[in-house]
């Protein structure tokens, strides 16, 4: 078939027409996100009048809303919002009965971060906030209607985060001085945290995830890899600390992508009424859901008939009759259905990007690449439609984290690049999550080392297979992927013809020292373990040797640097220092700063401007990509 028409950046990166739908617990309304004044806001629609006029119940024209949920009584919706990407999240309340009222900030504390968890009492939620001190989260009970907050647990200085049972019993996690991960229970009488069990921190790089209190409050479901390479689900007894096996997959890890992507579903699927565990999500190339409940197994079998994608976000009414389900898919974006289990009827509610023709989009094919030292690197290759797959310009797209992973899904940057005639390669390098703990731990001490070798091995594989022209290969990544981009143009400057660094780390020591205060005490089992502690002179010297900022004299690859001014993870100084060092040497570098963004752009106008720049930049330096 001939190549499809060129897709516009505006169409590919426009905010979704509708997304993240959720049915109310009483089953009468569906909420979703949709644009208003070019920002995503919350809208609702009656289930019995799906062709009628929807109601908008928030009015944020400054920044898109990315997360919300119904209260258990269907009376309110709660959502999170920060300011310009500063990650000081506030909990807001929206009122379906008064759409004109907009959102009410329930945590109006300047410079504070907050999160929430619903309680069994539908009028209450537990709110976790660092308003008392920036380095510690305390727990408060929130009266949702009045906004009154009552402190119920003052962090004694060890708790890294909180979770609650439905009746308000509080639990916490902590990092010990040795970097181990401890699970604790709050004792209200003594106002102390009691240790339940301690896990080897080297096996839990990003802490315990998933982690959910059982409905009766006597246990906690966690993702555990104690005694095994693969992460499975166990129940931890809150009195004895004993782990009891709940579910596992012989080959796949539990799917933990939701810890990074707000648009993806949590790995534990629970009954909305009882909180019981219905199923568990696992992932290798594609997702597998293992049902643990007969009723849900029957529901899931019918839902999976609606699409050849992977079941994503699920919500049901309290009876388990009406379900709203969205799917992840490489070419059909955000297809969302309403399903009635009593009648078996289903209805397509929407796709998130109806302006895009799936036939014009490129398939994302799983590939396995052997590393030079014998590891299997699972990844994805996307080839342009209607173009012979030989000697193509190629973009190596590197995920962030690094304790995250690429997965099979609709990804606008991938589709833009493929539409322009580039092959796109995504490699889950050692250190990526979801491929066993040994694979993750193989990255210890390997920043700018074997982690980068894995990426180069992927490039070499694509060249050897005949897909990629070795003279026309670009590298592009965000966060850790931005660091990998900068490593690419400093440690292996002859490999890449162009590079795009998006909120990337240039100086590992400066990065760690400028992380938010609340994050810095919790680095022992991740950044300090894998890279080093900048307070140790020997480790500091090693970190500098692995930092692109110390090797800017090697950069001769055309480079585009993109930064959010409000980024609290990779601060603007990281990019400023890099760009200034290059310009002082007379090296041309393009630099884009957005002053109302943080660690990853959210507002559609900024995202579109960024990718128009990327599109133009790559066309200039990769030669024969299709012209926009």
Quick check: helix, strand or coil at residue 195? strand
| Among candidate residues 386, 427, 380, the one with its CA nearest the CA of residue 408 | 380
**Other C-beta atoms lying within 10 Å of the C-beta of residue 308:** 9
HSE-up of residue 451 (Cα within 13 Å, Cβ side): 29
What single DSSP character describes residue 100? G
Q: Any catalytic annotation for residue 295?
A: no
| Angstrom distance (rounded) from CA 344 to CA 303 | 10
Instruction: List helix spans (H) across 265-363.
Output: 294-303
User: Across-strand partners of 289?
Assistant: 281
| Tokens of residue 511, six digits | 């990065």
| Angstrom distance (rounded) from CA 227 to CA 168 | 32
What single DSSP character describes residue 451? H
| Angstrom distance (rounded) from CA 537 to CA 544 | 11
Which residue is associated with the tokens 């884009």?
592
| Angstrom distance (rounded) from CA 118 to CA 120 | 7
- Of the residues 329, 599, 615, 621, which is catalytic? 599
| Among candidate residues 447, 497, 453, the one with its CA nearest the CA of residue 475 | 497
Q: Any catalytic annotation for residue 245?
A: no
- Of the residues 22, 64, 479, 547, which is catalytic? 479
- Of the residues 567, 575, 615, 621, which is catalytic? 567
Q: Any catalytic annotation for residue 357?
A: no
User: Across-strand partners of 22?
Assistant: 31
| Among candidate residues 64, 16, 10, 4, the one with its CA nearest the CA of residue 410 | 16
What is the signed CA dihedral for 327, 330, 332, 335, rounded to 10 degrees? 10
Parallel, antiparallel or unpaired: strands 192-199 and 181-187: antiparallel
| Among candidate residues 473, 331, 476, the one with its CA nearest the CA of residue 415 | 331
Residues labelled as active-site residues: 479, 567, 599
């Amino acid at each position: 078939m001939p190549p499809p028409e060129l897709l516009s950046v505006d169409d590919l990166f426009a905010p979704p027409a509708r997304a993240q739908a959720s049915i109310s617990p009483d089953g009468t309304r569906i909420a979703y996100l949709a644009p208003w004044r070019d920002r995503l806001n919350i809208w609702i629609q009656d289930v019995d009048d799906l062709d009628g006029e929807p109601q908008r119940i928030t009015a944020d024209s400054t920044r898109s809303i990315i997360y919300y949920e119904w209260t258990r009584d269907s009376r309110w919706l709660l959502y999170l919002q920060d300011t310009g990407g500063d990650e000081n999240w506030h909990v807001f309340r929206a009122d379906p009965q008064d759409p004109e009222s907009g959102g009410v900030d329930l945590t109006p504390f300047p410079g504070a971060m907050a999160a929430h968890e619903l309680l069994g009492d539908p009028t209450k939620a537990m709110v976790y906030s660092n308003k008392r001190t920036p380095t510690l989260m305390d727990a408060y009970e929130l009266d949702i209607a009045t906004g009154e907050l009552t402190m119920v647990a003052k962090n004694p200085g060890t708790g890294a985060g909180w979770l609650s049972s439905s009746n308000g019993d509080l639990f916490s996690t902590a990092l010990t001085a040795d970097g181990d991960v401890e699970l604790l229970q709050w004792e209200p009488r003594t106002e102390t945290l009691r240790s339940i069990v301690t896990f080897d921190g080297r096996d839990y790089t990003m802490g315990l995830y998933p982690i959910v209190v059982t409905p009766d409050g006597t246990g906690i479901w966690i993702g555990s890899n104690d005694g095994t390479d693969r992460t499975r689900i166990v129940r931890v007894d809150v009195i004895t600390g004993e782990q009891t096996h709940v579910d596992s997959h012989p080959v796949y890890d539990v799917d933990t992508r939701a810890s990074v992507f707000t648009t993806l579903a949590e790995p534990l699927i629970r009954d909305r009424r009882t909180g019981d565990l219905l199923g568990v999500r696992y992932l290798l190339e594609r997702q597998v859901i293992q049902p643990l409940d007969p009723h849900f197994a029957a529901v899931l079998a019918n839902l999976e008939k609606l699409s050849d994608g992977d079941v994503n976000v699920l919500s049901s009414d309290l009876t388990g009759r009406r379900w709203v389900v969205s799917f992840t898919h490489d070419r059909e974006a955000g297809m969302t259905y309403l399903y009635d289990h009593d009648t078996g009827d289903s209805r397509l509610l929407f796709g998130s990007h109806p302006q895009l023709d799936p036939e014009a989009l490129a398939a994302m094919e799983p590939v396995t690449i052997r590393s030079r030292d014998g590891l299997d690197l699972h990844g994805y290759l996307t080839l342009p439609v209607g173009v012979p797959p030989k000697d193509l310009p190629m973009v190596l797209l590197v995920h962030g984290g690094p304790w995250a992973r690429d997965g099979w899904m609709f990804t606008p940057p991938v589709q833009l690049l493929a539409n322009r005639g580039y092959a796109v390669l995504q490699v889950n390098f050692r250190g990526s999550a979801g491929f066993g703990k040994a694979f993750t731990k193989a990255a210890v001490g390997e920043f700018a080392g074997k982690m980068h070798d894995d990426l180069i091995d992927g490039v070499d594989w694509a060249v050897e297979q005949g897909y990629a022209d070795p003279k026309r290969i670009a590298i592009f990544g965000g966060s850790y992927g931005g660091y990998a981009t900068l490593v690419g143009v400093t440690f292996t400057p002859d490999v890449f013809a162009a590079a795009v660094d998006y909120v990337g780390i240039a100086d590992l020591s400066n990065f760690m020292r400028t992380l938010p205060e609340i994050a810095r005490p919790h680095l022992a089992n991740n950044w300090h373990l894998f890279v080093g502690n900048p307070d140790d002179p020997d480790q500091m010297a090693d970190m500098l040797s692995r930092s692109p900022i110390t090797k800017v004299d090697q950069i001769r690859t055309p480079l585009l640097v993109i930064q959010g001014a409000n980024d609290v993870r990779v601060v603007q100084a990281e990019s400023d220092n890099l760009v200034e060092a290059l310009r002082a040497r007379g090296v041309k570098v393009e630099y884009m700063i957005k002053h109302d963004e943080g660690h990853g752009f959210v507002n559609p106008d900024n995202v579109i401007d960024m990718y128009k720049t990327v599109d133009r930049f790559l066309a200039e330096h990769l030669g024969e990509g299709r012209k926009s």
